[in-house]
Amino acid sequence: MIRHLVHLRFRKDIDVSQKNALYERLEGLTPRIDGIGGFHHHANISVETPLVRNFLDMFWFDFRDADARDAYLANEEHQTIGADIVACLEGGADGIFVCDIEL
């Protein structure tokens, strides 16, 4: 299984309802792409403020395998949502950090 972790640094003008709308769109991909095992999103509550560097939000998908992850990455709807997320981030693409781990 692959866990696809995405850490976000939203602009200050993006409120919780806007974030949740983006997360709902991402979660909507779950039944549409074979091999997605789950979607979660949470606030980063770390007290290590200097190390957090304002990456205060995160989400992740669990994928059955690399093929499922790759299908998600190539999915046109995912790419549209991703572009909308990047438009809401501090510094655009500099406001996102992605990490995939094998479980």
Domains of the chain by residue range: 2-56+64-102
Given this model, what pLDDT does residue 91 score?
97
Whether the CB-CB separation of 80 and 29 falls below 8 Å is answered with no
Whole-prediction pTM: 0.94
Q: What are the φ and ψ backbone dihedral angles of 37, each rounded to 5 degrees?
A: -95, -15
Q: Tell me the mean pLDDT per 10 residues along the chain, length 103.
A: 98 98 98 96 96 97 98 97 98 98 96
DSSP letters spanning 19-82: HHHHHHHHHTTTTTSTTEEEEEEEE---S-HHHHTT--EEEEEEESSHHHHHHHHH-HHHHHHH
In this structure, CATH architecture of domain 2-56+64-102: 2-Layer Sandwich (3.30)
